[in-house]
Structure 1
């Protein structure tokens, strides 16, 4: 085809088939728009193929493996348990293929044209598409950039993805590390630490920060649980270099200005994600970026070119699928003329650890720093009836209220059911709920939900309230 001779006409062109781009495509098609979705690799993007789904499969497997040893109290007798990581890898590939096919089926059902190849902007109304020798030009009314992120390389070591691993390669291992060092304190680092400890690895965690990134109470409980599982934690420490040797990795660590060398069979490094926007040609059409390299957008996901939108990891904020999905749908609705916007104020933070962690809104310390007079209540799951049945007693539910108005400011949980239950906190914060709004409804019995009710009820009894500040 000669460039400029013929261009396919589309209402919306979406570049990137991860969570943001995929949901933008479906929503736009549902709203009657002609949509083409272009993905360079496999549909589902990094989330389905490398990140979210593989890592959560590993954490789920680790959780179930750990639970098996506790079934005897239910009268379930088990023979010696064997874990086969190759079987898990086979299941992972089958799961990814199954979910990919499901996404393709949905695209077909909603008449979304799905193309595999690279795309780049020729102008603010044309995109070039390439797949091998094939070259096409698409003219669009609107475009959505949803190309996700790349993992940033760290200095001091070579990431060979065999001995030194990142969040995309650790779930490709075909062997269980004998001695695994986790470098990082985010949710991915924690998930991998818990999963591989359950698989049988001796796990250590080091990170440069003062503590983990949750509410101080959760951090304290998390450190207790890690110690209980024999996972060592070294805070305010730095990995200076790592050298790959025949049977492992020799690392140089720095703590309190003293350095030491330690040997591990494997090293996992939790790496920063950077926006994947090179070679898109956005600079030639006036799409502006921030100093950090992210695409500038407004509350409707519009870039500095009004007919071009951006969603997900290419925009500022945490690299989370929940953010990308919301922005993708917002962009599609804005393109269709619907009054819409996204707001990440109550973006939940979750970790599929064992037990899981979930939080939304302000932590206790954040609320105080912002000038709120707070009432805080924390109820341990050890007092919950259903936790006694399933013997998952670690953790608690913590609520943070503003003293004067009794308005909910934050909800923080660590324990069985936390990730599902945090939706109650998200909805409550969006509705500007007060204590009575959470106290009035009925809670199923027996269930972990009752601990949330107890936490809310406790704020009326100031003598039982935790007041750390």
Structure 2
């Protein structure tokens, strides 16, 4: 190894070129900071190269394939609707390369220095970067740790073979599984089950103990109904025992809620697993940075750690391990470094799953609103009664609105159906603004459009949805019941 003899000076260094890291780098350059980005692998990190983008290419393809029956109704395609998985893999590769090249070009245009290699702290104000036989030392004014996290197996699964797949491995498969067993109930598990079923794979979902899907209970029930409709078998409240993998497949053994031992045999097993922050290789434990009980770096509202020159963002900090958190925190960190006032508030971070159809939850669920003691008023509008959903053949799902009847302030918005992902930003904005029912009724909504379903869900809070049948009086008492406890 060749070690640089002279410590090189840098202003702002960012360790990790994932969505949080490169967003922080570009925003820092926009604010006039001199930025150096250190990345040991590909720019874009796990999200662009192995996680978010590859998985969403699979979910996008699955969504399109699920439309084949409706396309035939429109006179498009024939009874034989072939699917070429190898072409999909080639497309995935092209998209990832295109997006990665785009980020690299933006870094270049913003005059961001990119250093390739593995970073390690050698002092509270210095890092060393190792790249092959070269080891260079950099002294920084500020540094942002944005090294992300790594998926690991669940603690009760001691062995992992080739047919047991973590998220980045599932969406890198070069063959279509015959029977995919999905263990988990988070958004990744839901996307995996929904997508591969639409691609023609037999899918079984195994949910441990009292775990449930991560949405408002009404959406959880709808997902269960849709899974059953698509012949996705769901096993609930199970106690995992073991797995046995052979060259031909994998078997999972578990106890049911009735204490009966059962087995499932499949070709592959997907496990959401858990994620651990990528911190130990950095060597930060030597410098007394405050950590949480879970091992995450403690930060303040500016993303500053207990050492003033060191900031941290994304999966290495406590909270949801999502790209949107990392991006928001990265922008806030560099704004603070540039002397601006900033704030990161994750209260209304949306819960999103790119299932078929997609699902979104923002704000309080009905159950949590009642637990808070609010005077709860709810309304749910079925997309099957929406004109555009009907003509587009995407009638599954609904929009649910939760309001505080005392103040008429919207407390939660939940949707499963076409357009949910795109509308989620508007839902977040409304809750951030503490919008009232009247604020949502006042605007004009495009016709025909899925967005009209949102208006009708709001109008339904007081029984005035146009495209919903009148509620009978005995039912109406329940429908508009106000919880005053």
User: Into which bin does the TM-score normalised by the smaller protein fall?
Assistant: over 0.9
Structure 1 spans left out of the alignment, 5+ residues? none
Quote the offset at 1:283 in angstroms: 1.5
Q: How many angstroms apart in 2 are the aligned matches of 1:2 and 1:68? A: 59
**Separation in 2, partners of 1:45, 1:436:** 43
Q: Deviations over 1:32-90 (max 9, x none)?
A: 11111111111111101111001100000011111122212212242512212222112
CA distance in 1, matches of 2:170, 2:482: 39
Instruction: Name 1:60's counterpart in structure 2.
Output: 60
Instruction: Give distance in 2, aligned partners of 1:395 and 1:233.
Output: 19
Contact 1:157 1:243 in 2 (8 A): no
**CA distance in structure 2 between the partners assigned to 1:2 and 1:119 by the alignment:** 15
Q: For residue 256 of structure 2, what is the aligned residue in structure 1?
A: 255
State the partner residue of 1:134.
134
Residue equivalent to 2:228: 227
Find the aligned partners of 2:288 and 2:157 in 1 and give their Cα distance. Answer: 37
- Give 2:175's aligned residue: 175
2:212 — aligned with what? 211
> Secondary structure of the equivalent of 1:82?
coil
2:454 to 441, 452, 458: 452
Residues 144-155 of structure 1 correspond to what in structure 2 (within 5 A)? 144-154=144-154, 155=156
- Shift of the 137–456 alpha-carbon distance from structure 1 to 2, 3 Å rule, reads same
Paired position in structure 2 for 1:307: 309
Q: 1:265-304 CA distances to partner (integer Å, 9 max, x unpaired)?
A: 1111111111110121212222111110111011111111
Q: What are the superposed Cα offsets for residues 403-444 of structure 1, whole Å, 9 maximum, x if unpaired?
A: 110001110000011111122210011111111111111110
Residues 185 and 211, structure 2, Cα contact 8 Å, conserved in 1: no
Q: Which moved more, 1:454-463 or 1:177-186?
A: 454-463
Q: Indicate the residue corresponding to 1:388 in structure 2.
A: 390
Given the alignment of the two structures, is residue 112 of structure 1 paired with residue 115 of structure 2, yes or no?
no
**SS where residue 438 of structure 1 aligns?**
helix
Give the structure 1 partner of residue 159 of structure 2. 158
Tell me which residue corresponds to 1:16: 16
For 2:312 and 2:327, the matched residues in 1 are separated by: 12
Alpha-carbon spacing, 1:92–1:12, altered in 2? closer, same or farther (3 Å): same
User: 436-445 vs 458-467, which deviates more?
Assistant: 458-467
> Could you say which residue in structure 2 is the equivalent of 1:296?
298
Once residues 271 and 250 of structure 2 are traced to their aligned partners in structure 1, the CA distance between those partners, rounded to angstroms, is 12
Once the 2 structures are TM-superposed, how far is the Cα of residue 6 of structure 1 from its aligned partner? Answer: 2.0
- Give TM-score scaled by structure 2 length: 0.94
1:288-367 mapped onto 2 (5 Å cutoff): 288-367=290-369
Alignment partner, residue 43 of structure 1:
43
Q: 2:270 maps to which residue?
A: 268
CA distance in 1: counterparts of 2:193 and 2:322, whole angstroms: 20
Deviations 1:96-153 (A, max 9, x none): 1111110110000001111111001122211111101111111111100000001122
Q: CA distance change for structure 1 residues 126 and 382 in 2, over 3 Å: closer, same or farther?
A: same
SS of residue in 2 equivalent to 1:394: coil
Contact map agreement 2:149 2:278 (CA 8 A) in 1: yes
Could you list the per-position Cα deviations for residues 291-348 of structure 1 after superposition, in whole angstroms to 9, with x for gaps in the alignment? 1011101111111111211000001111111111000100010110100010100101
Contact 1:157 1:241 in 2 (8 A): no
Q: Distance in 1 between matches of 2:139 and 2:12?
A: 9
Instruction: Determine whether 1:423 maps to 2:420.
Output: no
| Alpha-carbon distance in structure 2 between the residues aligned to 1:144 and 1:238 | 41
Q: Is the Cα contact below 8 Å between 2:12 and 2:143 reproduced in 1?
A: yes
Which residue in the other structure is 1:88 paired with?
88
CA contact (8 A) 1:157 1:242 kept: no
User: Is the CA contact (8 Å cut-off) linking 1:252 and 1:259 kept in structure 2?
Assistant: yes
Q: 1:425 to 1:138 in 2, by over 3 A?
A: same
1:280 partnered with 2:282: yes
